[in-house]
């Protein structure tokens, strides 16, 4: 959160707006609302008063918000009516078919091309491959945790969340693990809204992304000549469906994997620390019953919701919740809201490690686009916590975490913590 009076003033203004504006004038899609942690309160009002909500003239134009769990599921599963294809509108509230930065990737395609390309990389997440990666992830988790200072403040996002996800991604892509931070820089550039301190202009963003493409261009050529194994670039280079893909498609798919596996897992790991700090009784439960660690990832994913939304475009006129959505309309699926839907999740704002239905969360999507890296994310969160439980009695959050300035990635840019002692 930005320091000082500005934060307090913005908070006051947004709270006033939430209490006084007619429901059809609300525009929830403003990054500052998410940065201040106020978006969930907007969604609560929308679920009550207008669960299928139309914003006619928002910061990102006209769009529908789908806020109830049942309706989000329905839209995601009806891929004939609601398209992910970039050229129909794309997958985020900001995407535009004429975006000069766009690179095609299968997350932003409809069948049959989506199906073909997804099939090629699926083996990278096979149980056998996950088993191999699980061993590496345990070794890295131990190494990272053993290197942390005791009784001293440090940033958990940088020292732990980023470090573990970066090494995992490097291994998945067959990129040198000692240079794994490159992947973080490239991913951050990709998701950054121009104007943020790290990327003041669009040119700053593009120059970092060019570095990524040049590097993977070299790797692609090497792997085309000699695929080295079961890493993702070898897979894309080795199969006829993807071997002939255009440069743009190759870059798009590499970026998809870098971004898809990066910010999301990072926020889940950081979110788990924030959740246990706010709900310490849940950590006691976990210590008393270590088998509950299997239930940890789904509840962390529900509670944190690392991606606040995905977007679709209506391909025909359709009615949802009694509202008429016209062909061509932008439809935003707010996972952050669906995961807090009280008709599905009892005391939805609370983090409960033994919540009986946490697996109904929608943080990974549902249907044909459901996250392909879901199990890999689970291995990272679960393994890290198994190792934390052996080492530290608790992790104290020292001050309010700095949340991301984004309506899409829902995480933390900084999380200052202290580990008081080892076990």
Would you tell me which residues interact with ligand HEM (CB under 6 A)?
Answer: 84, 91, 106-107, 118, 172, 256-257, 260-261, 264-265, 268, 301, 306-307, 310, 363-365, 369, 371-373, 376-377
Of 84 and 413, which has the nearer Cβ to ligand HEM? Answer: 84
Exposed / middle / buried, residue 401 (Cβ in 10 Å: 0-12, 13-18, 19+): buried
Of 26 and 254, which has the nearer Cβ to ligand HEM? Answer: 254
Of 164 and 325, which has the nearer Cβ to ligand HEM? Answer: 164
**Reduced 3-state DSSP string for 348-367:** CCCCCCCCCCHHHCCCCCCC
Closest C-alpha to 384, from 141, 169, 155, 149: 141
Residues 6+ apart with CB under 8 A from 29: 55, 58, 59, 60, 63, 65, 93, 332, 407
The CA-atom distances, in angstroms, between 29 and each of 24, 42, 59, 85, 284 are: 13, 10, 7, 21, 37
Of 133 and 419, which has the nearer Cβ to ligand HEM? Answer: 133
Minimum gap (Å) between residue 113 Cβ and ligand HEM: 11
Minimum gap (Å) between residue 117 Cβ and ligand HEM: 8
DSSP conformational letter for 66 = E
Minimum gap (Å) between residue 276 Cβ and ligand HEM: 17
DSSP letter string over 362-382?
Answer: -TT--STTS-TTHHHHHHHHH
Closest C-alpha to 27, from 75, 72, 71, 65: 65
Residue length, the chain?
A: 423
Minimum gap (Å) between residue 66 Cβ and ligand HEM: 13
Of 274 and 376, which has the nearer Cβ to ligand HEM? Answer: 376
Of 51 and 306, which has the nearer Cβ to ligand HEM? Answer: 306
Minimum gap (Å) between residue 275 Cβ and ligand HEM: 14
Residue 43 has, within 13 A of its CA and on its CB side, a CA count of 29
Minimum gap (Å) between residue 200 Cβ and ligand HEM: 28
The two tokens of residue 293 are 């660690």
What DSSP element (H or E) covers 15?
Answer: helix 5-20
Minimum gap (Å) between residue 40 Cβ and ligand HEM: 17
Of 116 and 204, which has the nearer Cβ to ligand HEM? Answer: 116
Of 119 and 316, which has the nearer Cβ to ligand HEM? Answer: 119
Locate the DSSP E strands across 215-321. Answer: 309-314, 318-320
The residue number whose beta carbon is nearest to ligand HEM equals 373
The sheet with strand 52-58 has its strands ordered as 52-58, 61-66, 330-334, 309-314, 82-83
Q: 337 and 282 in contact (C-beta within 8 Å)?
A: no
Of 40 and 261, which has the nearer Cβ to ligand HEM? Answer: 261
Minimum gap (Å) between residue 206 Cβ and ligand HEM: 23
Minimum gap (Å) between residue 310 Cβ and ligand HEM: 4
């Amino acid at each position: 959160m930005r320091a000082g009076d500005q934060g307090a003033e913005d908070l006051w203004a947004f709270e006033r707006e939430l209490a006084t504006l007619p429901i059809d004038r609300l525009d929830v899609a403003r990054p500052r609302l998410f940065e201040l942690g106020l978006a969930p309160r907007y969604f609560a009002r929308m679920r009550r008063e207008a669960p299928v909500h139309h914003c006619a003239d928002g910061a990102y134009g006209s769009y529908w918000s789908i806020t109830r769990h049942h309706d989000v599921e329905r839209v995601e599963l009806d891929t004939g009516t609601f398209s992910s294809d970039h050229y129909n509108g794309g997958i985020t509230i900001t995407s535009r078919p004429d975006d000069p930065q766009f690179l095609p990737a299968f997350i932003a395609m409809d069948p049959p091309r989506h199906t073909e390309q997804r099939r090629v990389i699926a083996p990278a997440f096979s149980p056998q491959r996950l088993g191999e990666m699980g061993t590496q992830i345990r070794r890295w988790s131990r190494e990272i945790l053993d290197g942390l200072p005791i009784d001293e403040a440090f940033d958990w996002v940088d020292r732990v969340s980023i470090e573990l996800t970066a090494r995992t991604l490097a291994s998945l892509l067959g990129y040198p693990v000692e240079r794994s931070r490159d992947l973080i820089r490239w991913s951050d550039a990709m998701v950054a809204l121009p104007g943020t301190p790290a990327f003041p202009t669009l040119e700053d963003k593009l120059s970092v992304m060019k570095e990524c493409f040049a590097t993977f261009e070299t790797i692609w050529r090497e792997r085309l000549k000699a695929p080295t194994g079961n890493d993702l670039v070898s897979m894309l280079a080795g199969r006829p469906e993807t071997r002939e893909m255009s440069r743009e498609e190759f870059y798009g798919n590499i970026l998809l994997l870098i971004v898809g596996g990066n910010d999301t897992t990072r926020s889940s790991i950081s979110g788990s620390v924030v959740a246990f700090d706010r709900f310490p009784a849940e950590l006691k439960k976990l210590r008393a019953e270590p088998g509950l660690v299997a239930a940890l990832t789904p509840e962390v994913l529900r509670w944190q919701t690392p991606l606040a939304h995905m977007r679709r475009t209506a391909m025909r006129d359709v009615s949802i919740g009694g509202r008429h959505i016209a062909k061509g309309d932008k439809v935003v699926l707010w996972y952050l809201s669906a995961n807090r839907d009280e008709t599905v999740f009892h005391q939805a704002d609370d983090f409960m490690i033994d919540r009986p239905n946490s697996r109904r969360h929608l943080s990974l999507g549902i249907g044909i686009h459901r996250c392909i890296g879901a199990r890999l994310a689970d291995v990272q969160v679960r393994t890290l916590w198994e190792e934390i439980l052996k080492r530290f009695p608790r992790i104290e959050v020292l001050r309010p975490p700095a949340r991301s300035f984004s309506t899409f990635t829902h995480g933390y840019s900084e999380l200052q913590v202290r580990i008081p002692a080892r076990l």
